[in-house]
A and B are shown apart, each in its own frame.
Chain A
């Protein structure tokens, strides 16, 4: 059973567009929601993360929106660039689970020049 559901599976946008990737979870014990970026042949790299006490967090061109009541969170990439083409994973975790991360299935993003 997938603890974190991620959509879409793939996404193609033009340079400058704003791709949005969505994730949903059921376990209300989760209290940490990171996003990872992965390039082919590399390990996932931590991009940005949010705690449930805030509804939005921005770091550069990357923004997480968090809706605690709906148990959903999303990643927005502003002014997307071809270099943002990668696979993005959301995840959820709780200290009560030994810091075990539950990952979404990933979104392959292509930014067309």
Chain B
């Protein structure tokens, strides 16, 4: 599992509330990623980080922000959750071989 944990694993929240998902890694990887997975869309990149305080947008970044204040933690925040953000969110890290990405167990988020 590449030493990746995600919390919470499941969350139900109401429209308009802020939500923060956490990704934690234990192996000091520089690159970390947040994806969302939806039926018919596969996995789509939300944001990624290439170092502490260094982040960039992916293809579906609207409505999401991220922060990385230390190497091991990458946080994804939905400032005001909407029903369209109901999804399964996966964190990933780039492994020791530059092209390989390894995924965490996922967080299922439901926005009612």
Q: A6, B42: Cβ atoms under 8 Å?
A: yes
Known: A98-B48, A99-B31, A100-B45. A105 touches B40 (CB 8 A): yes
Q: B98, A89: Cβ atoms under 8 Å?
A: no
Which residues of the partner chain B approach A34 to less than 8 Å between Cβ atoms? 99-101
Binding stretch for chain A, among B12-20, B62-70, B77-85, B103-111: B103-111
Q: Identify which of A42, A49, A101, A106 contacts B45 (C-beta below 8 A).
A: A101
Known: A98-B48, A98-B56, A105-B40. A44 touches B103 (CB 8 A): yes
Interface range on chain B: under 10, 10 to 19, 20 to 34, or 35 or more? 20 to 34
A46 at interface by CB-CB < 8 Å = yes
CA distance A32 to B58 in the complex (A): 18
Which residues of the partner chain B approach A93 to less than 8 Å between Cβ atoms? 99
Q: B90, A49: Cβ atoms under 8 Å?
A: no
Q: Is the interface of A mostly helix, strand, loop or mixed?
A: strand
Q: A43, B104: Cβ atoms under 8 Å?
A: yes
Number of A-B contacts (CB under 8 A): 58
Q: A44, B43: Cβ atoms under 8 Å?
A: yes
In chain B, positions 1-60 with a C-beta closer than 8 Å to chain A are: 1, 4, 31, 33, 40-45, 48, 50, 56, 58-59
Q: Identify which of B42, B58, B98, B103 contacts A106 (C-beta below 8 A).
A: B42
Which residues of the partner chain B approach A36 to less than 8 Å between Cβ atoms? 103
The 0/1 profile, CB within 8 Å of B marked 1, for residues 15-44 of chain A is 000000000000000001010100001111
Most A C-beta atoms less than 10 A away, residue of B1, B43, B48, B102? B43
Which residues of the partner chain A approach B44 to less than 8 Å between Cβ atoms? 103
Besides the contacts A99-B99, A101-B33, A101-B43, what 9 more A-B pairs have beta carbons closer than 8 Å? A4-B42, A46-B101, A95-B99, A99-B98, A101-B45, A103-B42, A105-B41, A105-B42, A106-B42
